[in-house]
Amino acid sequence: MYQYYNPNKLQSRVGDCSIRALSKALNVDWEKAYALAVVSGFRLGDVISSDNVWGSVLRMRGFRKEILPDFCKDCYTIRDFCEDHPSGTYVIGTGTHVVTAIDGTYYDTWDSGGETPIYYWTR
C-alpha cells in the first residue's frame, strides 16, 4: 500500500511534499511540477506550498476537491482512505502534509499512512 517516491533530483525530503504530490498525480517530473506551482503562486500572490496554490494547479487540470466527513478524526488514516478508494488518483491533504494515492497505493518519501486526511482532490 505504501511506495517510496521521491522525484527530487537532490533527494530532498522536507518541505516539498506538495511538489512531489503534484509530480506523481500529474505524471510529470519534479521540475515541471515545481514550475506549475511557481506560476500558480505568482498568479495568486501566495507561496507554492500553500493549499490554495497547489490546489489551483490541480483544479486547472480537471481535479475537484472533496472534504472528508469529520466522523472519526483520530481513527481514519491515509491507509484507511486507500483501502476505501482502491482505484483512481487522489491527492490527499492532512493540513500539514500532502500525498498522492493511485489505485490504493500512496506514494511518499516516508510512510505517511498513519496521518489523518482532511480532504482530497480527484478527477
Distance CA 8, CA 5 (A): 9
Strands annotated E in 42-97: 64-67, 89-93
Please give the share of the chain, as a percent, with pLDDT higher than 70.
Answer: 99
Going by pLDDT thresholds of 50, 70 and 90, the confidence category of residue 12 is confident
48: nearest Cα among 67, 64, 30, 24: 30
| Residue 73, pLDDT score | 64
- Would you call 2 helix, strand, or coil by DSSP? strand
Question: At a CB cut-off of 8 Å and minimum separation 6, what does 14 contact?
Answer: none
Question: At a CB cut-off of 8 Å and minimum separation 6, what does 24 contact?
Answer: 5, 7, 100, 102, 107
Mean model confidence pLDDT for the chain: 95
**Pair 118, 93: CB distance under 8 Å:** yes
Summarize the confidence of residues 39-48 as an average pLDDT.
96
Going by pLDDT thresholds of 50, 70 and 90, the confidence category of residue 33 is very high
**Which helix (H) or strand (E) element contains residue 13?**
none
Summarize the confidence of residues 8-20 as an average pLDDT.
87
Summarize the confidence of residues 99-121 as an average pLDDT.
97
Summarize the confidence of residues 21-35 as an average pLDDT.
98
**Pair 17, 33: CB distance under 8 Å:** no
Question: At a CB cut-off of 8 Å and minimum separation 6, what does 107 contact?
Answer: 3, 4, 5, 20, 24, 99, 100, 101
**Statement: residue 10 has pLDDT above 90:** no
User: What is the per-residue pLDDT across 56-102, written as a single tens digit (0 to 9) for each?
Assistant: 999 999 999 999 988 776 789 999 999 999 999 999 999 999 999 99
